[in-house]
Amino acid sequence: MRQLVICLVALSTAVSFVAFPQAPIPAQGKAAPKAGGKAGTVGLYQKQPPTPTGPAPKLADGTPDLSGVWLGGGSNDSDISRGLKAGDSVVMLPWAEALVKTRQSKDDPEANCLPSGIPRGSPYPWRIAQTPGIYFIVYEGNIHSWRQVFMDGRKHPEDPDPAWYGHSIGRWDGPTLVVDTIGFNTKFWLDYMGHPHTEQLRTVERYTRTDLGNMTIEVTLTDPGAYAKPFTTVGRARIMAGTELMEYICQEDNFDLQHISGPAQGPGGNTR
Amino acid sequence: MRAKLSILIAAAVLALGLPIFAHHSGAAVFDNTKKLDLKGVVTKVEWVNPHAHFYIDVTDTAGKVTNWNLELASPSILVRNGWKRNSIKEGDIVTVTGSRARDNSNFGIAQTIVFPDGHKLNFLSAYE
């Protein structure tokens, strides 16, 4: 039994850090790998072209250019408490701790083909489209959806209607796109383990294209309704050269849902 | 370091026996202790999300025919890993190994698919 537990821990750790594309940078504080390298497996995708090399590009007006098909996200979507900024920890309030222990895999909104919210990622690629005054983040999965980030200097509304992706406003901090989001509903889980949140959740995402093929993504979550203190996740994304976004209409035939059983658990079967 | 991690992952995945799923736990649906080894004729292919499926008729020694529903990854994952929508088609004779659903229905995950000429496909990929 002990061996099984060790194996599952090894699996979940390994999968979270390497096999699963939204994996965070493994060691806290370490820089993202340099661009380049051999063709090979990226996330769930095999025989992928090498990550492109070169400096981070800029648009004609000097704004950092975040274009491209990206794979990876800002947090460990299996268990958000892994891959945090050095010194950070996830400290749930008692009600949240109790809730996580009772959550069932079949109730995960992700398994029900509902939006993932922020910052939960997926093994599917995504894009950022930069247009004047507004950026769009377009997700292939899970689910096939999009977010809008207002870049025109507006403020958040006083009392936003709760939403899956909340209300996002963005600004540039040097090379880093900073996206501040409030106004979340409570319908999504932060990860496969079922970490909850309240409508008090605020996320601040920091997207930095470190070179042509790589991006670091840090997300600070503040939710005094569910967590004793804020925490920051650290993740990375890589350019997937040679592919485009494709359709992933999860709602089309979610046959598996009726066959899911057991406690909330990661894609590799790991539980808390 | 990467090579070591890859070996660790491969060992861990083999130990668990189920591939990594994209939007739910594979272990919450399939039981790795219920191994499947089926040979049959493909009766239908569903190239749909979030998982593609194909169905095969399996005839037992008494002549009884059972239709099995076998699951694959999503089409976008399969295509990026070398599959085509007609890589498996109605009338193909295939041997499938995998694991059965926890609820013991005639539903399973197709971990390997072997064709009479010896070429193989798997749940995620056409690259063997």
> Could you count the other beta carbons within 10 Å of the beta carbon of residue A72?
28
Are residues A127 and A70 in contact, defined by beta-carbon separation less than 8 angstroms?
yes
**What's the pLDDT tens digit per position in B79-114?**
999 999 999 999 999 999 999 999 999 999 999 999
A89 burial via Cβ count (<10 Å: 0-12, 13-18, 19+): exposed
DSSP class of A192? T
Residues sharing a CB contact under 8 Å with residue A78, sequence separation 6 or more, in sequence order: A12, A15, A16, A20, A191, A192, A193, A266, A267, A268, A270
**Residue B13: pLDDT above 70?**
no
Query: Confidence band (pLDDT; 50, 70, 90) for B64?
Result: very high
In angstroms and rounded to an integer, the radius of gyration of the C-alpha atoms of chain B is: 15
Residue A44: HSE in the Cβ half-sphere, 13 Å Cα cutoff: 25
Residue B1 lies in a domain: no
User: What pLDDT is attached to residue B106?
Assistant: 97
pLDDT of residue A231: 98
Q: Write the residue in A8, A41, A261 that is nearest to B102 by C-beta.
A: A261
What pLDDT is recorded for position A8? 35
Predicted interface score ipTM higher than 0.95: no
Q: Is A6 on the interface with B (CB under 8 A)?
A: no
Every domain of chain A and the residues it spans = 2-259
Rounded CA gap, B69 and B11, in Å?
28
Residue pair B49/A253 in contact by the 8 Å Cβ criterion:
yes
0.90 exceeded by the pTM? no
Q: Is residue B79 part of a domain?
A: yes
Cα distance between the two ends of chain A = 16
- Which architecture does CATH list for A2-259? Beta Barrel (2.40)
- Structural domain span for residue B118: 21-122
- Report the share of chain B in percent with pLDDT over 70: 87
pLDDT at A84 (0 to 100): 97
Q: Which residues of A touch B50 (CB under 8 A)?
A: 113, 141-142, 248, 250, 252-254, 256
Angstrom distance (rounded) from CA B87 to CA B103: 29
Q: What is the pLDDT of residue A37?
A: 56
- CB A155: neighbour CB atoms within 10 A? 9
What's the gap in Å between the CA of B24 and the closest CA on chain A?
A: 5
The answer as to whether B127 is a domain residue is: no
Per-residue pLDDT of chain A (272 residues; tens, 9 = 90+): 333 333 333 333 333 333 333 333 333 333 333 445 567 888 899 999 999 999 999 999 999 999 999 999 999 999 999 989 999 999 999 999 999 999 999 999 999 999 999 999 999 999 999 999 999 999 999 789 999 999 999 999 999 999 999 999 999 999 999 999 999 999 999 999 999 999 999 999 999 999 999 999 999 999 999 999 999 999 999 999 989 999 999 999 999 999 999 999 887 777 66
The three-state secondary structure class of B9 is helix
Higher-pLDDT residue of A92, B10: A92
Any CB–CB contact under 8 A between B92 and chain A? no
Determine whether the interchain pair A18/B27 forms a contact, defined as Cβ–Cβ distance below 8 Å.
Answer: no
Residue A44: which of B46, B51, B124 has the nearest Cβ?
B124
Q: How far is A143 from B97, CA to CA, in rounded Å? A: 30
Would you call B127 and A45 a contact, using CB atoms and an 8 Å cutoff?
no
pLDDT for position A142: 78
The domain total for chain B is 1
Using the structure block, give the residue that is written with the tokens 């063709």. Answer: A39
Q: Determine the pLDDT at residue A38.
A: 66
Q: Is residue B3 part of a domain?
A: no
Q: Is residue B11 part of a domain?
A: no
CATH number of the domain that residue B89 is part of: 2.40.50.1010
The pair of structure tokens assigned to B36 is 């499947």
Does B32 reside within a domain?
yes
Residue B125 pLDDT > 90, yes or no? Answer: yes
Where residue B20 falls among pLDDT bands split at 50, 70, 90? confident
Query: HSE on the CB side for B121, CA within 13 Å?
Result: 26
Residue B3 binned pLDDT confidence (cut-offs 50, 70, 90): very low
pLDDT at residue B2 greater than cutoff 90 = no
Determine the pLDDT at residue B103: 94
